[in-house]
């Protein structure tokens, strides 16, 4: 059965016409096209409710402030439990309105030009995807810097040698897995009460370098340091990677979720497809992410 969210040609009639007549279905299509590319969910989990009041006020959990000032104490019969609290840092995530629109001409629909129309929708989805990931990574970068979250200076992953003469093999301490293991250790020793890091987010060049260096053993080697998921994005700087406990660093809220509107423009005999989203990126646990740099050499 054809997927109703995917444009297709049926009886010489392109279903994009039906999509333009159904903004809800078109919105689901754009959301699906975008979701297939996003890496934002590696860092952020969804908020439980919509953003209200102009922002998301949240507490930040940091190393050194991750335990109550007073420890729990043994209670004797008839006594009260002690009152304990901790030093809390608060922050505010403000929503930002991002969107764009594309124009579909009547002639493109009348002449059954599915490629042109599908490409316009794909371009719109790609642009939204790029912006969401740019905003997510920028939010993470800002909090890593603001709270001085320690990272790792790594090694050139493109130079790793795992087979050959012993004197040419890269020492274990200078391989990608060593960089990842050191970053994961930083998360663990902060003892923030979150799961161990399980996700690597990197530029495609770094994943390619690991595949060349480790070959068929890449997945097994990654799993040996706890990484079960590798996510790549062109929005990550080449030579940089992030080790993260998936979804534990931040909360992604929306004042308005992804919304698609179909706006007729009869003076031009065209239709605008307008999509927008109003996200807010809160980072309550910045220590769940560790940045590794220097992976592309000098």
Residue 257 to residue 270: CA distance in whole angstroms: 26
Check pLDDT > 60 for residue 6: no
C-alpha 184/C-alpha 191 separation (Å) is 12
pLDDT of 264 reads: 92
Going by C-alpha positions, the residue among 273, 280, 281, 284 that lies closest to residue 256 is 280
* Domains of the chain listed by start with CATH number: 9-293 (3.90.1690)
Residue whose token pair is 């909360």: 251
Give the mean pLDDT of the chain. Answer: 88
pLDDT in tens, 131-151: 999 999 999 999 999 999 999
Assign 112 a pLDDT band (cuts: 50, 70, 90): low
At residue 113, the pLDDT reads: 67
| Stated pTM of the model | 0.85
| pLDDT reading at 42 higher than 90 | yes
More confident residue, 214 or 108: 214
Closest CA to 192 of 73, 54, 287: 287
Q: Provide mean pLDDT across the span 70-78.
A: 82
Of the listed ranges 63-67, 241-245, 258-262, the one predicted with least confidence? 63-67
Q: 16 pLDDT band (50/70/90 cuts)?
A: low
Convert the pLDDT of each residue in 82-106 to its tens digit.
887 777 889 999 999 999 888 888 8
pLDDT band, residue 7 (cuts 50/70/90): very low
User: What is the per-residue pLDDT for 28?
Assistant: 83
Residue 66 binned pLDDT confidence (cut-offs 50, 70, 90): low
> 124: pLDDT confidence band, cut at 50, 70 and 90?
confident
What element of type H or E holds 256? strand 250-265
Question: How far is the C-alpha of 192 from the C-alpha of 86, rounded, in Å?
Answer: 14
| Residue 124 contacts residue 102 (beta carbons within 8 Å) | yes
Residue 262: pLDDT above 80?
Answer: yes
Residue 13 reports pLDDT greater than 60: no
Using DSSP, state whether 8 is helix, strand or coil: coil
User: How high is the pLDDT of residue 185?
Assistant: 97
């Amino acid at each position: 059965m054809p997927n109703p969210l995917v444009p297709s040609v049926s009886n010489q009639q392109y279903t994009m016409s039906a999509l333009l007549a159904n903004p809800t279905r078109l919105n689901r299509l754009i959301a699906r096209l975008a979701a297939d590319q996003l890496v934002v969910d590696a860092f952020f989990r969804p908020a439980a409710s919509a953003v209200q009041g102009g922002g998301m006020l949240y507490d930040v959990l940091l190393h050194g402030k991750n335990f109550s000032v007073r420890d729990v104490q043994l209670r004797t019969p008839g006594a009260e439990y002690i009152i304990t609290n901790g030093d809390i840092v608060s922050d505010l995530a403000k929503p930002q309105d991002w969107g764009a629109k594309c124009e579909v001409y009547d002639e493109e629909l009348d002449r059954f030009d599915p490629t042109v129309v599908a490409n316009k929708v794909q371009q719109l989805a790609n642009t939204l995807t790029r912006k969401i990931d740019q905003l997510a990574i920028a939010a993470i970068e800002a909090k890593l810097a603001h709270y001085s979250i320690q990272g790792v200076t790594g090694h050139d992953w493109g130079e790793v040698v795992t087979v050959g003469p012993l004197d040419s093999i890269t020492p274990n301490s200078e391989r990608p897995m060593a960089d990842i293991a050191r970053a994961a250790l930083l998360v663990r020793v902060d003892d923030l009460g979150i799961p161990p890091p399980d996700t690597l987010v990197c530029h495609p060049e770094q994943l390619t370098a690991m595949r060349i260096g480790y070959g068929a053993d890449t997945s097994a080697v990654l799993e040996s340091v706890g990484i079960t998921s590798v996510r790549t994005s062109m929005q990550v700087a080449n030579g940089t990677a992030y080790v993260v406990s998936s979804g534990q660093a931040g909360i992604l809220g929306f004042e308005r979720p992804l919304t698609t509107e179909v706006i007729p423009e009869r003076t031009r005999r065209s239709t605008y497809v307008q999509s927008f989203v109003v996200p807010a990126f809160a980072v309550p646990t910045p220590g769940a992410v560790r940045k590794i740099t220097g992976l592309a050499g000098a």
